[in-house]
Structure 1
Amino acid sequence: MATGEYGPAAGSAVTSVPDAAALLEEWTDLAAVAPGDRLFRTRRMARPARLDLRAGLRETDAAPCLVVSPGTAGGAITSFETGGLRLSRVADPAGVLLVLSLEEPARRDLFAAVCSDCLRAVIRGEDEAEDDLLSMFAARLSAWRAFLRDQTGALSRSEMIGIIGELLLFGQLLDIGADALGAWKAPDDGLHDFENAGDSIEVKTSLGGARQLHVSTLDQLDDAGLTSLHVAHVRLIEASDGETLEDIADRIETQLSGERARSAFRNALLRRGLAPGADDDLGPRVRMAGTDFYAVRDGFPRLRRGELALGITDATYQLEVRALTGFQEDAAAVLSRFGGGQ
């Protein structure tokens, strides 16, 4: 038949929550099963119990797969191919299947790590009695898609420092009861790092005695159409007893209420470029020395697209911190624009 049968391979279901190594072993075991006339050789995962999720091999080329039977709810999940991974829909007598497959054999270890991480996200949701496990799977996979599309290697030191600054401001918003997760736009390539109903904050982070702030695009300090735009200068110092990027992320995650919020935060971190299981030994240990807020308004030193000669399409430049003194505003007043109950 065109689509082949869909059912478990010989042997029992996978009975534990598999890490990447266990999944690699599972695919090796499936390779020893005699080929048939099916599209896939599969074995059902024992967890999650409320979503039919299987380790599989594609019969045509023995490509490792993760096969999901979504029922009628899978139509809204977008197919893609990036980073050597493909998510596709496959017709089956029992209904359409979602198949995550490895298309570049050299990335087998990465594929196992992605599959294991997505499984873990779904099982966490099941443990917290979340109803829509398929959406949790799709959201985690979408975050991986963004990560694989945008990342070409490990985070640089400057990128880590930038994310640390964003997370520390995220924490300040949490402290006043604001919807920090909804306001954090950097993971979705937002023009400004935080935005809420027309109020925006662009975070600039420095480690040590920085005298200049880097502006990366012409539009970054353009307040057209905004109620307010502020630059938040997060000042860090390196300290042996300080926190790493992972430490800060873990601390913030524990402050969030409910698995749905924690899952959304982990997905945002992944889209922002921070993969799960990052090495704590990488990157600086820091403490926050303070955060200064500057209002971007008339007279603020900046370049704007409409004020430049024709032919200039973009620019990066440095801002002298001392030149911003006259634009400084109270931190509580700026943060209060983002809501909160305190």
Structure 2
Amino acid sequence: MSEPRELIEEKWLELEAECPSDERALRVAELPAKTTNGPLAIGVDQDGNRHLLLPVTSHQAVRRGLDGPVLVLRKRPLEDSEHYQHYADLGCLRSDLNDVFTTLCADVLTEVNDHQDNPLKALYRVIDRWKALFRSSGAPLGGDQVAGLYGELLILTRLLEIDASAHRLWKGPFGTQHDFAGTHTAVEVKTSSGTTQRRVRIHGLDQLLAPENGKLALAWLRLDRTSEEGDDLPDLVQLALRRCDDESALLTSLASVGYYPSDNPHYRDVRFVVGAENWYAVDDAFPRVTRDQLTIPDDRISDVAYTIDLSGETPSPLDGTAVAGYLEDLIREHA
């Protein structure tokens, strides 16, 4: 059987290709997920909105509170020539969010397979997890934060093009030493926007310390803001989600850095193109401050931050072959 997401998407496309027999009819297809009340199903209504249908008993109530503008949850009876069945109907009212809704439905399908005796409880569990994931506790990301996340996602999408599981190499959202890390290879990403200077801000004594018996590269990107060309942050997020094999895990990482899809309208007016990109091997010739260079105990020093100017002839940037080697080593170590 196909993976849940692929299966659901395939059936939805088949339903959308059908002509409705009645303007009030809901075109329905069963899913291979059995419950004590019958199989799950999906549907497409006369407006083209997608629905997930979980069979419930006639006396079961459905939770209130999801009433738009994106998701609607209600109880509805469906009848054909042979059956009459009540369903918990979860509908998506925005076609531009169909991809995200499909992922949510795939999570429900997986959860129901583990809790066939209580599909409604399984639905609530998934909805509650997604609510927690998308709930924003603060303001949207600021300008420098948007540029920084954009730069990391650019590198991530390149890794995902090689390996759909490469999002596991993205460590930056969780406060680790480097933005991307395998066993012996790491990459630190720095972005500049609104300036032509190649100056990067380093935070701490470990940020430019290579993994033990390993190697570290610093990727510097100059992002130029544009009004029409380039991509905005939500565009890049969608590209990463399409390429990765675990959208929920990637969404969790994004939430950890303060990015929530509910804030997308805030980011739509900011587009970037890469004006320049240089990668550097962080070795003994690279200008940096690390704890092993200190002449006094490092527990006496804290909150270290400094700026490196990379505009001179040295250090010299890596060529394309060497950059590709870092990406390939990351993938190989992850595998």
Assess same fold via TM > 0.5: yes
Measured at CA, do residues 219 and 298 of structure 1 come closer, stay the same or move farther in structure 2, by a change above 3 Å?
A: same
How far the C-alpha of 1:314 sits from its partner, in A, is 3.0
TM-score computed with the length of structure 1 as normaliser: 0.58
Measured at CA, do residues 204 and 122 of structure 1 come closer, stay the same or move farther in structure 2, by a change above 3 Å?
A: same
Does residue 296 of structure 2 align to residue 314 of structure 1?
A: no
Partner in structure 2 of residue 244 of structure 1: 232
Partner in structure 2 of residue 256 of structure 1: 244
Runs of 4 or more above 6 Å deviation:
20-26, 118-121, 145-148
User: Aligned with 1:154: secondary structure?
Assistant: coil
User: Aligned with 2:223: secondary structure?
Assistant: strand
Aligned 8 A contact 2:200 2:308 in 1: yes
How far the C-alpha of 1:270 sits from its partner, in A, is 1.0
Query: How far apart, CA to CA, are the structure 2 residues paired with 1:152 and 1:334?
Result: 36
How far the C-alpha of 1:22 sits from its partner, in A, is 9.8
Partner in structure 2 of residue 174 of structure 1: 160
Does residue 199 of structure 2 align to residue 212 of structure 1?
A: yes
How far the C-alpha of 1:14 sits from its partner, in A, is 2.3
Count of aligned positions:
241
Partner in structure 1 of residue 94 of structure 2: none
Aligned 8 A contact 2:200 2:309 in 1: yes
Partner in structure 1 of residue 62 of structure 2: 14
Partner in structure 2 of residue 46 of structure 1: 88
- Residue-by-residue CA offset, 1:201-230 (whole Å, 9 max, x unaligned): 010011241321111222111125151111
TM-score computed with the length of structure 2 as normaliser: 0.59
Partner in structure 1 of residue 108 of structure 2: 126
Task: List gaps (5 residues or longer) in structure 2.
Answer: 1-58, 75-86, 91-99, 116-121
How far the C-alpha of 1:294 sits from its partner, in A, is 0.7
Look up the equivalent residue of 2:88 and give its one-letter code: A
Partner in structure 1 of residue 36 of structure 2: none
- Residue-by-residue CA offset, 1:135-184 (whole Å, 9 max, x unaligned): x9589849948987xx6533111011110001000011122336421100
- Residue-by-residue CA offset, 1:227-281 (whole Å, 9 max, x unaligned): 1111011221111122111111012212234xxx112111211112101211334
- Residue-by-residue CA offset, 1:280-315 (whole Å, 9 max, x unaligned): 343621112343211111121111123234422231
Measured at CA, do residues 14 and 160 of structure 1 come closer, stay the same or move farther in structure 2, by a change above 3 Å?
A: same
Does residue 259 of structure 2 align to residue 277 of structure 1?
A: no
Partner in structure 1 of residue 188 of structure 2: 202
Query: How far apart, CA to CA, are the structure 2 residues paired with 1:16 and 1:235?
Result: 48
The 5 Å alignment of 1:1-342 reads 13-14=61-62, 18=66, 46=88, 122-126=104-108, 131=113, 141=129, 144=132, 152-177=138-163, 179-208=165-194, 209-241=196-228, 242-257=230-245, 261-282=246-267, 284-308=270-294, 309-310=296-297, 311-323=300-312, 325-329=314-318, 330-339=322-331
How far the C-alpha of 1:119 sits from its partner, in A, is 10
Query: How far apart, CA to CA, are the structure 1 residues paired with 2:265 and 2:310?
Result: 31
Measured at CA, do residues 254 and 326 of structure 1 come closer, stay the same or move farther in structure 2, by a change above 3 Å?
A: same
